[in-house]
Every structure is written in structure tokens, then in C-alpha cells.
């Protein structure tokens, strides 16, 4: 079973929910797909056996001697990653999406397959939690190939995905293929606005969803009324409590310090299983 945890915006408590859920449900694989700033693993300081490897994407390798500057590859490339000059064919690596189409249309066989690293993938283990996370190289503009590669490494029977914030391509890549998407929000007008967009996205992807309300007790009833209207189950509420915020800010799992929460997070998994059916 693959459960992704997403939110319409950053700072709503997505990582708080994912890490505490992972720490409360026994054997699980936790994927941090927020590859621009992965931090789930930091909540498991006792992790060991850490290994890493480069994540590489395909880029065209151009043989300038064979190239006749006919321009077919550049016309084909939808991302404007190739530019033909009288003496040269230039590749803008950061724009290339690695589709391989330019090599297919080249009549001279001047383009072959090369690779370049865009980041790293890490593995480690902390007790029953297998950790897997991606780290995008600084300045690298495309997160989605790395997210795809992190997901391809998942092996567990129960996989939790900490998604990037927002509702753009990286989130869609992270959430794609999930059996369930847990949407974390806060009960404020901002939270409601972002939640409603995230709901539209997961519904478009035909992924069942439920809501965790973080910092409950603040704000207004808008999120609750919306979920009621849209028939979206609210599966857990985490109150606005100073102790929870303090533990989180110190990089500690509050469910390990406030042990009654282990049962609540384990119950959250049971409720998700009930919703999926």
C-alpha cells in the first residue's frame, strides 16, 4: 500500500504527520520526495547503514563531426534545449528533459545517449522504518526525474511518501500511483484555499483522499464545513499545542515523547485502510 502525504502549501505539518505516522505503524518505508529540501530523515537520528548513489538523467551526446547542422533535432525539441549555429550545435543541459527524441530524428546518427547527475538518492534504516530520500543538486531546476527515481527504489509493503509542498509537477509526480493521499491542512482561510486546490488535483488523478487537520483549535470552521460538503473524511486532528511545536522544532518525534499519539497514528492507518476498502 502506498500512502502519499501532501498539502497545498508548505508549513502545514506534512512532514510532522508523515514522520510520526511512520514511527507508529511498525515496518514501513518512508520516502522523502521533497527533494529540494528533504528533512524527514533528520527525525530519525539513530539511523544507520546510510548509503547513497547518484541519480542520473539522459542527455544527448553530440558528435559535432557527424552533425551537418540540418536543424531537425532543434525543431523537434519542445523544450528549446538545442540551438543550431553555422559552426556548432549547442545543448542547454538544464532545459533538456531527456526524452531522447532528438537522437531519433537525427538523420546522421550524430546524437547518442549520455547522462548527467542531477542529485543523490540515500538509503538508511531506523528500527522498523526504512528511510529513502532524494537530494536535488543545488541549482538543478528539475525535481521530477529525481522524485521518479526515488519512488522506483521503494521496496516496502507499506510505503509513506512525504511529498513536496504545493500542487505543481513535483507533487503530481510524488503522489502519482498512490493508493491514498493524506492531505494535511490547518483550519484557516489560507489552509482551506490550498486544501481545495489539492483536493481538485488528487480527484483529477482519481486518488482517494482524507484530511489531517493540524493546529486544530485555531482559525475558523471553514475547513470542517468544506470537508463536510465535499464528503472528505477528517481522519485526525492534531491540536495547536506548545509541546508538539517545541518537540518538532528540536527535531523530535512528538509521538515518541507523548506516547498516546502512537495509538492515534496507528489508528489513522486503520482508518485509511477502511476508506480504501
Contact 237, 213 (CB under 8 A): yes
- Shortest distance, position 139 Cβ to ligand SF4, whole Å: 18
- Shortest distance, position 134 Cβ to ligand SF4, whole Å: 21
- Shortest distance, position 138 Cβ to ligand SF4, whole Å: 22
Quick one: which of 23, 31, 96, 227 contacts ligand SF4 (CB under 6 A)? 96
- Shortest distance, position 117 Cβ to ligand SF4, whole Å: 16
Q: Does 114 bind ligand SF4 (CB under 6 A)?
A: no
Q: What is the DSSP letter of 43?
A: G
- φ/ψ of residue 61, rounded to 5: -110, 120
- Phi/psi zone of residue 100: left (φ > 0), alpha (ψ -120 to 50 degrees), beta? left
Considering the complex, state which of residue 73 and residue 269 has its C-beta at the smaller distance from ligand SF4.
73
Considering the complex, state which of residue 60 and residue 191 has its C-beta at the smaller distance from ligand SF4.
60
If you write DSSP's letter for every residue of 251-271 in order, what string do you get? T--HHHHSTHHHHHHHHHHHH
Q: Does 268 bind ligand SF4 (CB under 6 A)?
A: no
Q: Report CA torsion sign: 159, 191, 43, 123.
A: positive
Q: Does 57 bind ligand SF4 (CB under 6 A)?
A: no
Q: Which of 103, 108, 111, 116 is nearest to 63 (CA)?
A: 111
Q: Does 98 bind ligand SF4 (CB under 6 A)?
A: yes
Beta strands in the chain (DSSP E): 2-6, 28-32, 48-62, 82-85, 88-91, 111-126, 129-136, 159-162, 180-185, 209-216, 234-239
Considering the complex, state which of residue 61 and residue 243 has its C-beta at the smaller distance from ligand SF4.
61
Q: Does 106 bind ligand SF4 (CB under 6 A)?
A: yes
Give the binding site for ligand SF4 (CB under 6 A): 60, 62, 67-73, 76-77, 79, 81-82, 84, 89, 96-102, 106, 108, 110-111
Amino acid at each position: 500500500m502506498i500512502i502519499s502525504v501532501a498539502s497545498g502549501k508548505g508549513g502545514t505539518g506534512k512532514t510532522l504527520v508523515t514522520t510520526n505516522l511512520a514511527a507508529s505503524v511498525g515496518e514501513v518505508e518512508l520516502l522523502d520526495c521533497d527533494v529540494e529540501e528533504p528533512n524527514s530523515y533528520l527525525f530519525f537520528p539513530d539511523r544507520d547503514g546510510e548509503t547513497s548513489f547518484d541519480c542520473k538523467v539522459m542527455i544527448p551526446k553530440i558528435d559535432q563531426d557527424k552533425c551537418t547542422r540540418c536543424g531537425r533535432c532543434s525543431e523537434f525539441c519542445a523544450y528549446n534545449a538545442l540551438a543550431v549555429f553555422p559552426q556548432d550545435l549547442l545543448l542547454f543541459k538544464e532545459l533538456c528533459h531527456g526524452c531522447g527524441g532528438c537522437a531519433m530524428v537525427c538523420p546522421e546518427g550524430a546524437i547518442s545517449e549520455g547522462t548527467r547527475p542531477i542529485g543523490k538518492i540515500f538509503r538508511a534504516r531506523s528500527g522498523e522504518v526504512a528511510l529513502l530520500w532524494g537530494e536535488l543538486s543545488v541549482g538543478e531546476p528539475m525535481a521530477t526525474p529525481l522524485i521518479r527515481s526515488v519512488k522506483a527504489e521503494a521496496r516496502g509493503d507499506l510505503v509513506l511518501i512525504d511529498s513536496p509542498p504545493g500542487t505543481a509537477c513535483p507533487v503530481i509526480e510524488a503522489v502519482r500511483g498512490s493508493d491514498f493521499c493524506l492531505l494535511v491542512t490547518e483550519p484557516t482561510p489560507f489552509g482551506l484555499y490550498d486544501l481545495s486546490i489539492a483536493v481538485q488535483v488528487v480527484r483529477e488523478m482519481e486518488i482517494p483522499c482524507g484530511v489531517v487537520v493540524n493546529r486544530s483549535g485555531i482559525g475558523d470552521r471553514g475547513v470542517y464545513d468544506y470537508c463536510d460538503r465535499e464528503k472528505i473524511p477528517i481522519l485526525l486532528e492534531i491540536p495547536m499545542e506548545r509541546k508538539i511545536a517545541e518537540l518538532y522544532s528540536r527535531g523530535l518525534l512528538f509521538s515518541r515523547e507523548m506516547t498516546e499519539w502512537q495509538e492515534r497514528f496507528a489508528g489513522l492507518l486503520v482508518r485509511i485502510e477502511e476508506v480504501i476498502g
